[in-house]
Amino acid sequence: MEYEAVIGLEVHVQLKTESKMFTRAAYQYGDPPNTLTNPVVMGLPGTLPVMNKAAIEKTILVGLMLGCEIAEECKWDRKNYFYPDQPKNYQISQFDKPLCLGGKVEIELPGSSRNIMGTHRDVILTRIHLEEDVGKLTHFETESLVDYNRAGAALMELVTEPDMHNADEVFAFLTSLRMALIYGDISDCDMEKGQLRCDANISVRPKGSEKLGEKVELKNMNSISGVRNGVEYEIKRQTKALKNNERIVQETRRWNAESCYTISMRSKEEAHDYRYFPDPDLMPVKVSEEWRNKIAESKPEMPYDKQRRFFDQYDLPFTATSVICPDHKLSTYFEDAVKFHNNPKQIANFIANDLQRELSEAGVNGVLPLSDCKITPIQIAALVKLIDDGTISKQIGQDVFSKMFKSGEDPDTIIDRDGLRQSSDTGEIEKFCQEAIDNNPKPVAQYKEGKVNAINALKGQVMKATRGKANPALVDKTLRELLA
Ligand code: ADP
Ligand code: MG
């Protein structure tokens, strides 16, 4: 019997807002424990929640980006439970009337080679709602520590339909979603900081069966590849169990990333009854068409749409688009440069290769952000223009680029100061070509026997002797004439 996995995700995203969901207290990662609280966060008697408009607007923006239906009216509910990760004994969430309904996330599954775009499809969403985050507990052998800094932070929950079937699709989903959320400036989505968290619901059923199997909810993955590994393990575990005629029971399991296995945390019997009811302290939210349209104005072009446009409009290779398009700032940088000099391929080449390399070499903790790059789009365009009009060779252009990256100087300044202008002095070039021919009888003989590529060895000698400054096209022409 063949088996098929079915996977649905619940993704929590901390919104990049100045204050928490229902109070003015700020939240950012890494502050000393319990310093980002106030009486509302602590749920002291007499306090009242006040909605964070920016959080609602960011969530509507996500809904618009992902093609959701934006509810004309949504409401707030209390999810009641008794656990020290939150001080009020309930969490404010949205139960039956979420802010966004439906929608989809476009995913890309790897292509058959690095040079072509992979296959694309949409993963269907169920809903997106808003809630407040809870505090963080750290457990030790005999005691636990509580940090309420995170409690009350604006948290968006996105739920997918059971619409994925393997770990690669889950990986592609999270990669795509993360890219879109960073594009829209919704969240920085750093999983290590808990800004994006994902629970995976996994079941396995006989292939061809319509009925869903019993699902296992998998928790505690703290990177996108961690989710992939956890899902992959769990699919294998469940498939093996079914093949052995064992029953899968509905439960929550925990992924152990160090040792790569899942372990049961609690079974269905231990599941909570949250006694949801409307929060009497908060009014329902009405989203007018006018408000929605205003928010839609800041909707960014979606990453894969941009990639398709870059193929069509600029005729860029896949490898360049796959570096540039996932990064909103980098793609804007590219398009700004192209406005000043219309050679998109060469500009993309510098951005996808030289610039990326310089940024990663210059970074102390990881890659240097583009905002710290001293080269402006105008300067990169000017550099490519100097290559295109023959002022410098491509090879010299790369050295100039490195110097520009370090100093922020204009390419002209560097070229003049360092004497890098390409030589098109025919007399001088002829002298170097003749020298190369005299000193390298072997490639000369090979060329004369018909091995035309042997000329490259001679070209290399001339470029070396002129320290890259000879005009390569002229060198080629001169060598051919001298060897004819
Ligand atoms: P619960 O009530 O246990 O929270 P939901 O119906 O709300 O379950 O679904 C939660 C998540 O689990 C959703 O992403 C959904 O797509 C997924 N899901 C539900 N049933 C299954 C199943 N049998 N197999 C895989 N995923 C499932
Ligand atoms: Mg649910």
484 residues of the chain, pLDDT tens digit each: 899 999 999 999 999 999 999 999 999 999 999 999 999 999 999 999 999 999 999 999 999 999 999 999 999 999 999 999 999 999 999 999 999 999 999 999 987 666 677 799 999 999 999 999 999 999 999 999 999 999 999 999 999 999 999 999 999 999 999 999 999 999 999 999 999 999 999 999 999 999 999 999 999 899 999 999 999 999 999 999 999 999 999 999 999 999 999 999 988 777 779 999 999 999 999 999 999 999 999 999 999 999 999 999 999 999 999 999 999 999 999 999 999 999 999 999 999 999 999 999 998 888 899 999 999 999 999 999 999 998 998 889 999 999 999 999 999 999 999 888 887 788 888 999 999 999 999 999 999 999 989 999 999 999 888 888 888 888 999 999 999 8
Give pLDDT, residue 270. Answer: 72
Q: How far is the CA of 377 from the centre of ligand 2 (A)?
A: 47
Please give, one letter per residue, the 3-state secondary structure of the chain: CCEEEEEEEEEEEECCCCECCCCCCECCCCCCCCCCCCCCCCCCCCCCCCCCHHHHHHHHHHHHHCCCEECCEECCEEEECCCCCCCCCEEEECCCCCCEECCEEEEEECCCCCCCCCEEEEEEEEEEEEEECCCEEEECCCCEEEECCCCCCEEEEEEECCCECCHHHHHHHHHHHHHHHHHCCCCCCCHHHCCEEEEEEEEEEECCCCCCCCCEEEEEECCHHHHHHHHHHHHHHHHHHHHCCCCCCCEEEEEECCCCEEEEEEEHHHCCCCCCEECCCCCCEECCHHHHHHHHCCCCCCHHHHHHHHHHHHCCCHHHHHHHCCCHHHHHHHHHHHHHCCCHHHHHHHHHHHHHHHHHHHCCCCCCCHHHCCCCHHHHHHHHHHHHCCCCCHHHHHHHHHHHHHHCCCHHHHHHHCCCCCECCHHHHHHHHHHHHHHCHHHHHHHHCCCHHHHHHHHHHHHHHCCCCECHHHHHHHHHHHHC
Give pLDDT, residue 266. Answer: 87
Q: How far is the CA of 271 from the centre of ligand 1 (A)?
A: 14
Q: Any idea which ligand is nearest the CA of 94?
A: 2
Q: From the CB of 465, is ligand 1 less than 6 Å away? A: no
Q: How far is the CA of 246 from the centre of ligand 2 (A)?
A: 26
Distance (Å, whole) CA 199 – CA 126: 15
Give pLDDT, residue 114. Answer: 65
Q: Any idea which ligand is nearest the CA of 79?
A: 2
Q: Which of 159, 210, 215 to mutate to test the pocket of ligand 1 (most atoms within 8 A of CB)?
A: 215
Are the beta carbons of 46 and 197 closer than 8 angstroms? no
Q: From the CB of 162, is ligand 1 less than 6 Å away? A: yes
Give pLDDT, residue 426. Answer: 82
Ligand 1 atom 22: residue of nearest CA: 215
Q: How far is the CA of 9 from the centre of ligand 1 (A)?
A: 8
Report pLDDT digits (tens) over 145-169: 999 999 999 999 999 999 999 999 9
Residue reference for tokens 């707030």: 76
Give pLDDT, residue 115. Answer: 66
Give pLDDT, residue 166. Answer: 97
Ligand 1 atom 17: residue of nearest CA: 8
Distance of CA 19 to the CA centre of its chain: 25
Q: Which of 131, 163, 201 to mutate to test the pocket of ligand 1 (most atoms within 8 A of CB)?
A: 201
Q: From the CB of 4, is ligand 1 less than 6 Å away? A: no
Q: From the CB of 8, is ligand 1 less than 6 Å away? A: yes
Q: How far is the CA of 156 from the centre of ligand 1 (A)?
A: 18
Q: How far is the CA of 162 from the centre of ligand 1 (A)?
A: 7
Q: How far is the CA of 203 from the centre of ligand 1 (A)?
A: 9
Q: From the CB of 9, is ligand 1 less than 6 Å away? A: yes
Judge residue 51's burial from the number of C-beta atoms within 10 Å of its C-beta, 0-12 exposed, 13-18 middle, 19 or more buried.
middle
Q: How far is the CA of 64 from the centre of ligand 1 (A)?
A: 24
Give pLDDT, residue 364. Answer: 83
Q: From the CB of 55, is ligand 1 less than 6 Å away? A: no
Half-sphere exposure of 425 (CA within 13 A, CB side): 9
Give pLDDT, residue 466. Answer: 86
Which domains occur in the chain, in start order? 3-293 (no CATH), 301-417 (no CATH), 426-483 (1.10.10.410)
Q: How far is the CA of 213 from the centre of ligand 2 (A)?
A: 16
Give pLDDT, residue 366. Answer: 82
Ligand 1 atom 13: residue of nearest CA: 8
